[in-house]
Amino acid sequence: MGGGALRVRRRALMFQVRFWGVRGSIPTPGESTVEVGGNTACVEVRCGEEIIILDGGTGLRGLGEKLMAEAPVRASMFFSHVHWDHIQGFPFFLPALAPGNHIELYGGSNVTTTLAETLAGQMNFPNFPLTLEQMAASMEFHECVDGQVIEIADDVTVQALSLNHPNGCYGYRVEHRGKAMCYCTDTEQLEEPDANVLQLAKGAELFIYDSQYTPEEYTGEKSGLPRVGWGHSTFEQGARLAKLAGAKRLVLFHHDPAQGDAQVRDKEARCRKLFPKTDAAREGLCYEL
Ligand SMILES: [Zn+2]
Ligand SMILES: [Zn+2]
């Protein structure tokens, strides 16, 4: 077999997850976040020839630059929800701006506007120089329904289930070659373990979970400002859910803007005591499943 044939075969077998933005709420560039990165939510998943993008936070800009080397680009984007930190990279996503590319976009229509209307709205005059209509790639929008399983290719499925977050949010489970990865960000912990999270994370190789806070930050015991009701969880809850779901590896995601590299490392070390196979998400982190 020649090198070319080997490469094609390797790509067909690929199930890869790469982090482009790991921060929650607002981008946080600066000296204290160089190691972890300051871009907001964006994760690239490769299943064979399929390119799946989870969320379009500011990390999406860097991913777009890389994808342009593979043009024409054909990708499926899944938005957990439309808060700023999950959509702001989209106007800067080069594959959407360039003709000849095709993007399928999935997300909820659980707020007063559809996904297409929200993505167009953030580019409306006077907020942005271009409109969504001026983005030259062809785009097809799909409404996700709670519990839906979307078959995006042969042996590549994505399941959507609703999470506990103000204005709603979807978690996703991507399955390929009998393996699964789970993306559950922007979800607040419940008293009882969230059955939807457990279903999405069941036996997953990789369980990406909203671990914005430490338990003390969540309850506000030091700051006097509890974060209860803000729509996010703790690493402690991530470890609990990972164990219950039988997930193989937990990735702490959606780091709070106030946490510098040292705080994220500390969160990771504390979580490893509860669930040893834990990593804090960092920009550039990549897993082969
Ligand atoms: Zn968020
Ligand atoms: Zn949110």
pTM: 0.96
Sheet holding 42-47, edge to edge: 138-143, 102-107, 74-78, 50-54, 42-47, 15-21, 286-288
Q: d(Cα 232, Cα 216) in Å, to the nearest integer?
A: 13
For the cut 90, the answer to whether the pLDDT of residue 113 exceeds it is: no
Q: Which residues surround ligand 2, an ion (CB under 5 A)?
A: 83, 186
What share of the chain has pLDDT > 70, as a percent? 96
Which H or E run includes 262?
Answer: helix 261-274
- How many A from CA of 260 to the centre of ligand 1? 17
For the cut 60, the answer to whether the pLDDT of residue 224 exceeds it is: yes
For the cut 60, the answer to whether the pLDDT of residue 1 exceeds it is: no
- How many A from CA of 82 to the centre of ligand 1? 9
Q: List the domain boundaries for the chain.
A: 14-282
Sheet holding 149-153, edge to edge: 149-153, 156-162, 170-176, 179-184, 206-210, 250-253, 278-280
Nearest ligand to residue 166 Cα: 2
Q: d(Cα 162, Cα 175) in Å, to the nearest integer?
A: 18
For the cut 60, the answer to whether the pLDDT of residue 21 exceeds it is: yes
Mean pLDDT across the chain, nearest whole number? 95
Tell me the CATH number for domain 14-282.
3.60.15.10
Nearest ligand to residue 212 Cα: 1
For the cut 70, the answer to whether the pLDDT of residue 119 exceeds it is: yes
